[in-house]
């Protein structure tokens, strides 16, 4: 199979690597170049907040492939050289080192970057967690910390708090929600997760928005809440979400709205595709633009993008999925859990710490949640409404062989999927 001019993947991420591997599995033998902002070869991010942070894994264990496996892909990896600009008509990417890379097809896989808080810049002892280097720095800081505080009650904040507590630290977590991961899990299960954290010794401060950070002598010494209260801290982890890395695309002419906007085929323009955390694509089953920040999507969307590059012309309609492991508890979510969905336990019992729940909204099953029942959760997954994976093709979505104008995908609110 051929793609004139070869393929240039911008982002040496899990999604970027998976795209290259899918292309090779499908028989593509043309030129492939991968550009990465970090100097590290592709690695997995989910272990960073758990195994790597705790010290159970050496950082090298998070690498996705051995050097031999990467070499076998016959791709050029240009690492430690961030992309600065994209010329869409010329399919040319300019990098920080000054080089210009060209290809017939460009795949954008630049992921996300952590958000920050007022007063964060320049303060020692303030951490984010996105990269392998971030994990190493945070672990070193935690080992010397006496009063660490996590700001953020989402997936990442909850995982970091659980890991820190397992390390024996007296950890405090501050977040604006009524319970941990409420948007992702719904009120009932979020309350269960908060109770689990409290039982294990995490100091939760729910319903507390953060105004900013304070410091003394150039080092952080507290977290200031909207109420004016100051929570003492000698280390702060900021986990308040992440933004798609699209700044380098500002002058490209591509549509950028909370991500790189793509059509149902994950295509942002003729010869330009988006994959992974950065891509906001039209999901025909949901009839909405969605952006999925999870490891499963990185692999599944990469396979779809590779197939469409090679002419498959198939819309990407995944059943959203994410998981989290905290205090030995595995929570899995398939589909979506709308804020007003009805939760029904269909297997197990929450009082025993093992159950599966079905979520329905407007008379339709929208999602499943499993708590320490992975096998049963997979078995019940078949009952999800198959309109997510077998939608009626939207005639407004042109096949990949036809250029898609920036306004083609419909603009709709992004569901809280991950």
| φ, ψ at 116 (rounded to 5°) | -125, 170
> How high is the pLDDT of residue 212?
93
Asked if residue 220 belongs to a domain, the reply is yes
> How high is the pLDDT of residue 414?
32
> How high is the pLDDT of residue 239?
98
Q: Compute CA distances 294 → 14, 53, 277, whole Å.
A: 10, 19, 7
Residue 185 and residue 94 share a domain: no
- Give the count of domains, the chain: 3
Average pLDDT over every residue of 192-201:
98
Residue 120 and residue 28 share a domain: no
Give residue-wise pLDDT tens across range 66-95. Answer: 999 999 999 999 999 999 999 999 999 999
Q: What is the largest CA-CA distance in the chain?
A: 62
Asked if residue 314 belongs to a domain, the reply is no
Asked if residue 404 belongs to a domain, the reply is no
Tell me how far apart the alpha carbons of residues 248 and 106 are, in angstroms, rounded to a whole number. 14
Residue 147 and residue 206 share a domain: yes
Indicate the pLDDT class of residue 2, thresholds 50, 70 and 90.
low
Residue 150 and residue 89 share a domain: no
> How high is the pLDDT of residue 216?
94
Residue 123 and residue 228 share a domain: yes
Half-sphere exposure at residue 182, Cβ-oriented, CA atoms within 13 angstroms: 13
Residue 120 and residue 104 share a domain: no
> How high is the pLDDT of residue 385?
55
What percentage of the chain exceeds 90 in pLDDT? 85
Give residue-wise pLDDT tens across range 310-335. Answer: 999 999 999 999 999 999 999 999 99
Which range (20-34, 198-212, 352-366) has the least confidence?
A: 352-366
Which of 122, 181, 195 minimizes the C-alpha distance to 150?
Answer: 181
Indicate the pLDDT class of residue 398, thresholds 50, 70 and 90.
very low
Residue 378 and residue 280 share a domain: no
Res. 364: pLDDT tops 70: yes
Asked if residue 401 belongs to a domain, the reply is no
Residue 223 and residue 139 share a domain: yes
Give residue-wise pLDDT tens across range 206-264. Answer: 999 999 999 999 999 999 999 999 999 999 999 999 999 999 999 999 999 999 999 99
Across the strands, what pairs with 150?
173, 237
Residue 273 and residue 196 share a domain: no
**DSSP assignment, residue 392?**
P
The range of the structural domain enclosing residue 374 comes to: 321-388
**CATH code of the domain covering residue 263:** 3.50.50.60
Asked if residue 411 belongs to a domain, the reply is no
**CATH code of the domain covering residue 334:** 3.30.390.30
Asked if residue 91 belongs to a domain, the reply is yes
**DSSP assignment, residue 271?**
T
Asked if residue 192 belongs to a domain, the reply is yes
Across the strands, what pairs with 348?
355
Average pLDDT over every residue of 138-167:
98
Residue 134 and residue 188 share a domain: yes
Kindly report the pTM of this predicted structure: 0.91
Residue 206 and residue 193 share a domain: yes
Which residue, of 240, 274, 299, is where some domain finishes? 240
Which residue, of 214, 240, 266, is where some domain finishes? 240
Residue 234 and residue 145 share a domain: yes
Asked if residue 288 belongs to a domain, the reply is yes
């Amino acid at each position: 199979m051929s793609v004139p001019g070869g393929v240039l993947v911008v982002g040496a991420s899990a999604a970027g690597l998976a795209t290259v591997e899918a292309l090779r599995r499908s028989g593509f033998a043309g030129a492939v170049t991968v550009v990465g902002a970090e100097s590290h070869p592709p690695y997995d991010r989910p272990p960073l907040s758990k195994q790597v942070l705790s010290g159970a894994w050496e950082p090298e264990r998070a690498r996705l492939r051995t050097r031999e496996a990467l070499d076998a892909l016959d791709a050029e990896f240009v690492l430690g050289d961030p992309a600065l600009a994209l010329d869409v008509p010329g399919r040319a990417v300019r990098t920080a080192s000054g080089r210009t890379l060209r290809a017939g097809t460009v795949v954008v896989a630049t992921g996300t970057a952590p958000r920050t808080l007022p007063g964060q810049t320049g303060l020692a002892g303030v951490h984010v967690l996105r990269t392998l280097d971030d994990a190493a720095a945070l672990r070193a800081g935690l080992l010397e910390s006496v009063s660490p505080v996590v700001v953020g009650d989402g997936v990442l904040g909850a995982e970091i708090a659980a890991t820190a507590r397992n390390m024996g630290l007296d950890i405090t977590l501050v977040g604006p929600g009524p319970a941990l991961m409420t948007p992702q899990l719904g009120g009932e299960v979020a309350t269960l997760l908060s109770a689990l954290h409290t039982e294990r010794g995490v100091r939760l401060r729910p319903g507390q928005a953060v105004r900013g950070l304070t410091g003394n002598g150039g080092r952080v010494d507290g977290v200031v809440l909207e109420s004016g209260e100051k929570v003492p801290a000698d280390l702060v982890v900021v986990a308040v979400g992440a933004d798609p890395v699209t700044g380098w695309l500002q002058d490209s002419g591509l549509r950028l709205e909370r991500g790189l906007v793509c059509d149902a085929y994950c295509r942002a323009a003729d010869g330009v595709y988006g994959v992974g955390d950065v891509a906001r694509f039209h999901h025909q089953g949901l009839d909405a633009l969605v952006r999925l920040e999870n490891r499963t999507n990185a692999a599944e969307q990469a396979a779809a993008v590779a197939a469409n590059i090679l002419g498959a012309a198939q819309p990407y309609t995944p059943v959203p999925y994410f998981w989290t492991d905290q205090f030995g508890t595995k929570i899995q979510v398939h589909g979506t859990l709308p804020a007003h969905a009805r939760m029904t336990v269909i297997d197990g019992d929450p009082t025993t710490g093992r159950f599966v729940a079905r979520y329905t909204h407007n008379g339709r099953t929208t999602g499943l949640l499993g708590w320490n029942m992975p096998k049963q959760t997979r078995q019940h997954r078949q009952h999800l409404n198959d309109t997510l994976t077998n939608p009626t093709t939207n005639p407004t979505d042109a096949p990949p062989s036809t250029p898609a104008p920036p306004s083609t995908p419909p603009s709709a609110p992004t569901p809280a999927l991950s």
